[in-house]
Structure 1
Amino acid sequence: MGDIRRGRETGTLGKLMALIDLVALADDPMRFTDILSQSDQPRGTLHRQLSHLVEEGLLETDRDGRYLPGIRLLNLASRSWARNEFRTVAEPHLRLLQAQTGETVHLGVLRGTEVIYLDKVEGRQSVRMYSEIGNASPAYCTGVGKAALSALDDISLEARVSGLQFHAYTEHTHRSVADLQADIAAIRARGCAFDREEHENGICCVAAPIRSDDGDILAGVSVTGPAYRVTPEKLQEWAPLVRAAAAAIMQDIRSRLGPRR
C-alpha cells in the first residue's frame, strides 16, 4: 500500500486521497493503528483527517471502529459510471448523425456554466476545432451548451447564469444575461440551438438538448462544421436530424439508464 501514497502527499488533498486509497483498497476494514502504521502521518493529524473524511461521508466506521469506504464514494462512483454508460448509449446515434450529415458530431454534458465534451465523431473532412473529448467550453456561446441550458427550468437557468461573466470570443458572442435568456427562449420554442460563430470564428453548429427524466443528465448533441460549408440553410436542413438523434438518445436513456430503485 505504501507505493500508492508516494509522490502524492505534499498537499492536504493528496494526503486525504492517499488515506481514501489506503482504506478503499484494503482487503478488510482497517483499524486506526493499521492506518497509522502505513500513513506516515502524526497521530493527531491522522485522527483529524480521518474524522473529516467520515464527516463528509467518504469513509465510515463499523461497530468495532474500523474504517471502510463511505457511501458517498459509492454515490460518486455510480454517477461517474452512469455518465460512461450515457456515452455508450449515445454512440450509435452520434455515428448515425455523422453519416447523415458528413460533419463532426459532438456530445456534451452541462457542468455548472460549462459544457464538457464526452464524445466526438469526426466529419469526413475534419476541420481543426477547439473541441476535444474532456475539454470544457462556456455553455453560453456553444450550441451544445445552449441546448443543454435550455433543458433547465426557469429557476435553475436563472441560478446558473445570473452571475456569468461574458467573454467576447467573437463579435457574435452573447454579451449579457438578457441576450442569452432570449436565445434560450427561442431554442426551447424550436427545439434546437444554433451557434453561428459565437465561440470560434468560422465554426457553426446546430444542437439539440438531451435530458434524463430525473434531470441527472443535462446534455446536448450537435453537428458542427466550417461556416463556408455549414451554411444557414444547411443548419436548418440538419435541425430535424439533430432533434431526432437527441430524442433517440433520450429514449435509450429511459430504457437502459432509467431509475433502478
Structure 2
Amino acid sequence: MAKREFDRDDDVGRVAANDTGTLGKAIAVLELVSTAQTPLRFTEILALSGQPRGTLHRHLSHLVEEGLLNLAPDLRYEPGMRLLKFASNAWAKNQFRTVAEPHLKTLHERTGETVHLGILHGQEIIYLDKVESRQAVRMNSQIGNASPVYCTGVGKAALSVLPQKRLDDLMAQFSFHSYTPTTHRSASELMAELLMVRRVGYAFDREEHESGIRCVAAPIDAPRHGIVAGVSVTGPAYRVAMEQLEIWAVVVKEAAHAIERDVEVRLGPGR
C-alpha cells in the first residue's frame, strides 16, 4: 500500500480531530464516481461534489494512489480494481444474500424470469443479488445498483412494512421524479398503493421506473436483524402480462416468507 502524505504541520492531535471530516469527504468523492453512469472528468466531479478545487484534487490523487479509483487516458475517473475487489468480497460475504440465495434460485426455476433481491437503504433499493432469466431478452440490471424505492416493485414492497412514522418521514424526502407516465407523482398516490400492498402482501412495478419492464415483489421483514428488503420476479412487458404477475405473486410471497424464516434461524437472535 502506498504511504499517505500529510501537510508538514500535521500532528497526531490535529489529524485525529480532522480525520472523520476528511475521510467523509473522500468517501463522498468515491461514492460520486463509483455510482456515476459514466466515468467523470475532474470538472464534473468538482461541480457535483461542491468541494474546493484543491481539496478535491488531493482526495482524487489519494484515491487513485490507493487503487480505489482509476484515472483513464482520457482523464476521466472510474472505479479502480481495488474497489471492485472490495465490492466483490463484500457481496460474497453478505450473510443475508447467502441465506436468500437458494430461495432466489427456486423462484427462478418456478417462473423462468429474472429474480432480484434488494435491500432498503435510505431512499433507494440496493440490489444484492440477481438470478438471470432463461429467456433470450434479459434485464440489464446489475448487482450493486440502486433504484428509487417509490417506483420499483421491491422498493414499494419494502416500504409497506415500515412503521408509519418512519414511512412518513422517508416519503417527505422523495422528489417523485417522473421516470415514465406511470410513475407515482405524490406521497398521497404512493400511500394509496402501499395500503393495498399491506393488505395483499405484494407490490407491482407497472412500468413505473423503466418503460417496458414489469415486476411483482414481496417484502422481506427481519426487524431483529435490521433488514427491510424485498424479492421480485421481473420481465419485459411484451412477455409478462399483469395477469401472469398476479399468478406469480403467490410464489414470490412464498419465497419472501421462506427467506424471513431462514434469516431468523441461520442468522441467530439478532439485536
TM range (shorter): 0.7 to 0.9
Give the counterpart of 1:223 among 212, 227, 233. 233
The residue aligned with 1:119 is 129
Once the two structures are superposed, residues 103-145 of structure 1 have per-residue CA deviations (whole angstroms, 9 ceiling, x without a partner) of 0000001111110111010011153434210111111000011
Partner Cα separation in structure 2 for residue 93 and residue 82 of structure 1: 17
Q: Identity rate of aligned residues, in percent?
A: 56
Report deviation, 1:223.
Answer: 0.2
Larger Rg: 1
**Residue 87 of structure 1 corresponds to which residue in structure 2?**
97
The aligned length equals 205
1:97 aligns with 2:63: no
Aligned to 2:63: none
Aligned partner of 1:50 in structure 2 is 16
Give the counterpart letter for 1:227 in structure 2.
Answer: A
Distance in 2, Cα, partners of 1:190 & 1:180: 16
Counterpart contact for 1:213–1:254, Cα < 8 Å: no
- Measured in 2, the distance between the counterparts of 1:148 and 1:170 equals 21
Cα displacement (A) at 1:260: 5.3
Post-superposition CA distance 1:186-205 (Å, at most 9, x none): 10100000111111111110
Whole-Å Cα distance in 2 between the matches of residues 242 and 236 of structure 1? 10
The alpha carbon displacement at 1:256 in A equals 1.2
Say whether the 8 Å CA contact 1:104–1:126 is kept in structure 2.
Answer: no
Alpha carbon RMSD of aligned pairs, Å? 2.5
Structure 1, unmatched stretches of 5+, are 6-38, 59-79
Q: Distance in 2 between matches of 1:212 and 1:133?
A: 21
Offset of residue 215 of structure 1: 5.6
Q: Give, in whole Å, the separation in 1 of the partners of 2:259 and 2:227.
A: 11
Task: Report the secondary structure of 1:144's partner residue.
Answer: helix
**Whole-Å Cα distance in 1 between the matches of residues 185 and 270 of structure 2?**
42
The one-letter code matched in structure 2 to 1:174 is H
Please tell me whether the aligned partners of residues 82 and 257 of structure 1 are also in contact (alpha carbons under 8 angstroms): no
Of 118-127 and 134-143, the range deviating more from structure 2: 118-127
Q: How many Å apart are 1:4 and its aligned residue? A: 5.1
The one-letter amino acid paired with 1:159 is D
> Residue 189 of structure 1 corresponds to which residue in structure 2?
199
Alignment equivalent of 1:144, drawn from 137, 154, 174:
154
SS in 1 for 2:181: coil
Closer, same or farther: CA 46–158 of 1 in aligned 2, 3 Å: same
Residue 232 of structure 1, CA deviation: 1.3
* Shift of residue 182, structure 1, vs aligned partner: 0.7
Distance 1:235 1:217 in 2: 25
Instruction: After TM superposition, list the pairs within 5 Å mapping 1:160-171 onto structure 2.
Output: 160-171=170-181
**2:94 alignment partner, SS class:** helix
